[in-house]
Amino acid sequence: MLRISSPRAVTASTLVRHHSTTTATGAMFAKQGSLPRLPIPSLKDTATRYLKSLEPLLSRSEHAQSTKAASAFIGTSGLGPVLQQRLREVDRQAEHSWLEDIWLKKAYLEWRGPSYINVNWFAQLGDNPDYAAPAHVERGQVTGVQIQRAARVVTHMLELNEMINARSVPVDSLRGEPLCMAQFMWQFGTTRVPRPGCDQLVHQFPATARHILVMYRTQAVEVPVYNASGQRASLAQITAQLAAATQRVDKLIARAGAVPSVANLTAAHRDQWTRARTHLECDAGNRAALESADRALFGLSLDTDVNPEDMRDDERRLAVFAHSDGGTNRWFDKAIQLVVLADGRLGVNCEHAPVDALTTGRILMEVAQRERGPLKDLPPAADLPPPEPLVWNVSPETANAISQARAEARALATDLRVLLGGVGDFGARWIKTLGVSPDAFFQVALQAAYLRHHGQPAATYESASLRRFAHGRTETIRSCTADAQAFARVLDDPHVAERVKLELFRRAAATHTQLTAAATAGQGVDRHLLGLRAQLQSPEEAERAELFVDPAFAQSSAFVLSTSNTTPGDMFRGGFAPVVADGYGINYAMDRDDIKFSISDWRPAASTDAPAFKETIKRTLVDLYAAGEHVMSK
């Protein structure tokens, strides 16, 4: 999700650390010192790849114009070499990576629209048979299965945080290469805090806060899960703490009535939230409550005000995890926020700035696996403090801001449509028999489906990991290629032989695989261009940067298809909003014998139709399977 604000150099830190150290020692960081730094590609190589990515999107005359603009930009008298030299200086001064601070600020923290829905991603996790959903759930009532499953999941989250604190998590690797583990330091005790112009991340590593933040009936509660000596509570104690938290809130509301929910402000426009938080911080009690929310290890939402029919329907339940009907009962600034429904079903809503979804997904998958195994419980912690609802001094001005935030969040939630799709006839095992990668298969199929449905190609973003480099985040794979379009154009042509179609498909898949390899090797297009843009120092320079003022740059960077592969999907189905008004957000997982995906769009958009496009994607996947079976059977 890329947003660029006014051009200027990036230098200021965006991090606030409380009593923390980030020394990379221990088993988790055993390979950290051997990781290479992210390279800065040459201007010529980036320009060549960029122009290649424009081919399916532009006419010949438009492409000629873009070629001229790119040549002028990278030429000896162009601005490109000046920006490249500035970027090298950023790299020289950066501790780990020239991209790290640029990406954090430009992609996330300078974005001033609501991070709720626009930035946060969401997912639902598989059911646990040990916590069977009750036959009947009374709306508005917390349930035993809800508390019990939440306590078990919290226990495993704490176990993993302790492993990360101890730096004992095994080093991830891909095809024998170690991957950067720095993102694991940002999983717990991390919160996005609104600030003028550019938000901050409040962060602690090791994450040694002794409480979690529980949301219940829109009220925030500090729930201790460690005692003053740092001893973790047992499962029975955590269960009791969560039950006590709900009872405290119930009594408070019964006695004084519900108060406006400050948490609703985390769903607001970031400037609106900044003003409201600044006003709140004038009060010492509010400052203490905000600090408690910021420092909490993670968030836990116990949802009770959910229509029982919504809990039972997969798509409607995913919408609850995405936005909870207008930001109700959430603290969206927490890096990780678990959501447990009254029937015991589990989801998450995560702020995207500090950590990539695949890294958080690994923790969540580990929790899901541990949840199904035996529990190594601890003895009860002595003198565990009781839960304490956060107390707010809400002025009329703040109450008005909360009402406005709630109304705007509800409107945004109404606009977002999220659907689930997939095919059960085949999966990664069959795809590999074609000699192509499962990811390339889906991406080429998606290009064909979009051309089938919309009659034209679309600029496409696929996230690629840069974790083979120190403090690497992501690069863009520009999946809309000339080869993918060549295949898409013949897919429905009855005059083209099936073997020819399969050959074109394999060529398109091979091209996608090559682009993926280049992106993961730090030789993509978009991050380098972002780094160069971040070095612009004035509006006059921005006007001289021919490549960036060429209309094709904006067109090719407005990703109508924003996609992410989060395989496997058997226990984890995620989603996110489109990044442009007339686009789709598509998350997919290529399991062994099936394919799952989610698709989102904005309801007011006249040019998108998620329900119909979902069916086109499914039909295209099935058609490719049938064509492949037909050719291979001969």
**Which residues lie below 8 Å from residue 123, measured CB to CB, with a gap of 6+?**
321, 347, 348, 361, 364, 572, 573, 574, 575
What confidence score (pLDDT) does residue 130 get? 85
- 7 pLDDT band (50/70/90 cuts)? very low
What confidence score (pLDDT) does residue 572 get? 86
- 259 pLDDT band (50/70/90 cuts)? confident
For the segment 72-98, the average pLDDT, to the nearest whole number, is: 97
What confidence score (pLDDT) does residue 22 get? 43
**Which residues lie below 8 Å from residue 37, measured CB to CB, with a gap of 6+?**
91, 96, 97, 469, 470
- 25 pLDDT band (50/70/90 cuts)? low
What confidence score (pLDDT) does residue 592 get? 94
Span 204-231, pLDDT tens digits: 899 999 999 999 999 999 999 999 999 9
Span 351-397, pLDDT tens digits: 999 999 999 999 999 999 999 888 889 999 999 999 999 999 999 99
What confidence score (pLDDT) does residue 26 get? 65
What is this structure's pTM?
A: 0.93
**Average pLDDT along the chain:** 93
- 633 pLDDT band (50/70/90 cuts)? confident
For the segment 28-39, the average pLDDT, to the nearest whole number, is: 94
Kindly state the tokens that stand for 183: 């993102």
Span 151-176, pLDDT tens digits: 999 999 999 999 999 999 999 998 88
**Is-contact 406 250, C-beta < 8 A?**
no
Does residue 325 or residue 497 have the better pLDDT? 497
Span 62-78, pLDDT tens digits: 999 999 999 999 999 99
Domains and CATH numbers, the chain: 15-23+39-105+424-632 (3.30.559.10), 118-168+179-417 (3.30.559.70)
Residue 408 has pLDDT above 60, yes or no: yes
Of 82-96, 300-314, 538-552, give the lowest mean pLDDT range: 300-314
Span 439-460, pLDDT tens digits: 999 999 999 999 999 999 999 9
DSSP-assigned beta bridge partners for residue 226: 232
Span 482-535, pLDDT tens digits: 999 999 999 999 999 999 999 999 999 999 999 999 999 999 999 999 999 999
CA distances from 433 to 68, 453, 628 (A): 43, 28, 9
Q: One-letter amino acid identity for 4?
A: I
**Which residues lie below 8 Å from residue 80, measured CB to CB, with a gap of 6+?**
43, 73, 74, 532, 545, 547
What confidence score (pLDDT) does residue 4 get? 35
Instruction: Please tell me the distance from the alpha carbon of residue 105 to that of residue 535, in angstroms, as a whole number.
Output: 13
Helix/strand/coil for 405 = helix
For the segment 142-152, the average pLDDT, to the nearest whole number, is: 96
- 257 pLDDT band (50/70/90 cuts)? confident
Half-sphere exposure of 253 (CA within 13 A, CB side): 15
Of 16-30, 32-46, 296-310, give the lowest mean pLDDT range: 16-30
**Which residues lie below 8 Å from residue 602, measured CB to CB, with a gap of 6+?**
415, 416, 417, 577, 578, 581, 582, 608
What confidence score (pLDDT) does residue 440 get? 97
What confidence score (pLDDT) does residue 187 get? 94
CB atoms within 10 A of CB 378: 16
Instruction: Please tell me the distance from the alpha carbon of residue 359 to that of residue 572, in angstroms, as a whole number.
Output: 13
What confidence score (pLDDT) does residue 54 get? 98
Span 267-316, pLDDT tens digits: 999 999 999 999 999 999 999 999 999 999 999 999 999 988 888 899 99
**Is-contact 185 205, C-beta < 8 A?**
yes
Q: Is 329 left (phi over 0), alpha (psi -120 to 50) or beta?
A: left
CB atoms within 10 A of CB 614: 22
Span 409-420, pLDDT tens digits: 999 999 999 999
Residue 571 has pLDDT above 80, yes or no: yes
- Tell the burial category of 27 from Cβ atoms under 10 Å away from its Cβ (0-12, 13-18, 19+): middle
Q: Dihedral, CA atoms, 530, 533, 537, 539, nearest 10 degrees?
A: -130
**Is-contact 527 475, C-beta < 8 A?**
yes
What confidence score (pLDDT) does residue 18 get? 38
What confidence score (pLDDT) does residue 5 get? 32
What confidence score (pLDDT) does residue 132 get? 80
Give percent above pLDDT 90 in the chain.
Answer: 86
What confidence score (pLDDT) does residue 24 get? 52
Crossing angle, helix 80-93 and helix 526-533, to 10 degrees?
90
